[in-house]
Amino acid sequence: MEFGLSEEQRMLADSIRRFADERVDGERLKALVDGGDSANVDLLRGLADLGALGILTPEEHGGSGMTLLDACLVQQALGRNAVPIPFTASAILAPLAFAASPGDAGAEWLPALAGGVRRIGVGLSEAAGRRSGAGVKARSGKASGVARFVIDGQGADAWILATDEGGLILVEAGATGVQTVALTTIDRSRGVLEIRLDDSPCTTLLAADPAVAARLLAAGRVALAFDSLGAAERMLERAVAYAMERKQFGRVIASFQAVKHLCAEMAAEIEPCHSLLWYAAYAAEAYPDEFELMACHAKAHMGEVGQFVARTATEVHGGMGFTHEMGLHYFFKRIGLNRQLLGNPDQVRQHAAALQGWQRSAAAR
């Protein structure tokens, strides 16, 4: 019986943290993100060298074949520094999609993804909840429709998209009839894309298996939750550090209970999130029956806690927190985008209700 990170997992997280601290410190983060670079080649190469990009890739395809929890710990470490890197789609969702698909399409892509030389964006928004005008239909190797909010889609070599039938297709960049629209979100550290398909050639990874698509969606939700956890941890650390330095009324503001209590509340909210998220990621393999529901809880709860921490940590910084210069806003925005992607807390809780048979129509969500 052990509910905690192993020595290896701690070392893994530490190595990514060190990498992020060295390579994406405050000034570098500003330069990258303000410059619109959400997929820096050097950073990708560096992460590939650390083995982070191939963490879920089977060994025969050049990866290390580790677990979702391991991959999520990397995601959390990246979130800590708001590292502008297309990790979630290329290193977590694409390998899982290939693993779940019966064909061998993965053989072509996985080694290049693990090496950081090619990238895949993943569009699951419509699987999480379809808004009017969106949705992709695929039939006999051709796809049409709109995939909105494709994660890490900008600049990718291909995209894996969920279809209305509960399938997964792979569309290569430059295929006929493909039109892309770069979306500008509050968070410039990741490139979200809209993809419009018009009878575009595609590879069917999975014909129609909503259960598999649902598990992929769950994995994406857990990964985004871990990213927010990392960002929230960092915001709290920065708030405490700032409060220990900043003096008003002749003393550091960290000695005022009004400020201390804000920090304590953030800590009290963040701490149990570790456990909830660990369990959700662990459930992917250990308790597949619970996975989807736990992923909903992780995503929804972390979304709420993230929002609370983003606001409160900024408040602790006073006016400085509101400035661009302080750089706190990168985390605020990272958390803000994560909250909305793949279902915001309200939407995800509805899904959690449906999974427990608590809706008039259990199928609807």
Partner 1 sequence: MDLTLSLNYERYRADVRRFLEQHETIWRQPMTDSDGRPSDNGRKWQALLIDRGYTCKTIPKEYGGHGGKADILESFIAAEEFHRVGASTGLANQGISMFVPTLLECGTPEQRERWIRPTIRGEIVWCQGYSEPGAGSDLANLQTRAVEDGDDFVINGQKIWTSSAHFSDMMFVLVRTEPKAPKHQGISYLILSMDRPGIDVRPLKTMTGRAEFNEVFFSDVRVPQSQIVGGRGEGWKVANTTLKHERGMLGDPGQANAMLARVAKIMEEETLDGLRLIEHPILQDRLLRLQARAHAMKFHALRLLTHGLRGEDPGLARLIVKLNGTILNHEIAALAIDALGEIGALFDDSPHLRDKGFWQTTHMFSLGLIIGGGTSQIQKNIISEHGLGMPREPKPAAAAADTGTKGRL
φ/ψ region of 152 (left if φ > 0, alpha if ψ in -120 to 50, else beta) reads: left
Pick the closer one to partner 1 by CB: 13 or 47.
13
- Contacting range for partner 1; rule: CB under 8 A; set: 36-44, 77-85, 123-131, 268-276: 268-276
Pick the closer one to partner 1 by CB: 206 or 300.
300
Pick the closer one to partner 1 by CB: 160 or 300.
300
Spatial separation of the C-alpha atoms in residues 125 and 351, rounded to whole Å: 14
Report which of 218, 261, 277, 351 is spatially closest to residue 79, judged by C-alpha positions: 277
Q: Residue-wise over 60-83: b if at least 16 C-beta within 10 A, else e?
A: ebbbeebbbbbbbbbbbbbbbbbb
- Contacting range for partner 1; rule: CB under 8 A; set: 93-101, 156-164, 209-217, 261-269: 261-269
Asked if 244 is part of the footprint of partner 1 (rule: CB under 8 A), the reply reads yes
Minimum distance from CB of 168 to partner 1 (Å)? 28
Q: Which residues pair with 238 in a beta bridge?
A: none
The residue within the footprint of partner 1, chosen from 45, 260, 311, 365 (CB under 8 A), is 260
The residue within the footprint of partner 1, chosen from 276, 308, 318, 365 (CB under 8 A), is 276
Minimum distance from CB of 22 to partner 1 (Å)? 25
Q: Show contacts with partner 1 in window 63-82 (CB under 8 A).
A: 69
Report which of 128, 335, 107, 273 is spatially closest to residue 215, judged by C-alpha positions: 128
Minimum distance from CB of 263 to partner 1 (Å)? 5
Spatial separation of the C-alpha atoms in residues 254 and 250, rounded to whole Å: 12
Q: 173, 156 in Cβ contact below 8 A?
A: yes
Number of residues that bind partner 1 (CB under 8 A): 48
Q: 161, 171 in Cβ contact below 8 A?
A: yes
Residue 123's SS3 state is: strand
Asked if 3 is part of the footprint of partner 1 (rule: CB under 8 A), the reply reads yes
Residue 205's SS3 state is: strand
Pick the closer one to partner 1 by CB: 99 or 240.
240
Give the type of residue at 49: D
- Contacting range for partner 1; rule: CB under 8 A; set: 136-144, 177-185, 296-304, 326-334: 296-304
Residues that bind partner 1 (CB under 8 A): 1-6, 9, 69, 240, 243-244, 251-252, 254-257, 259-261, 263-265, 267-268, 271-276, 278-279, 282, 286, 294, 297-298, 300-301, 304, 346, 349, 352-353, 358-360
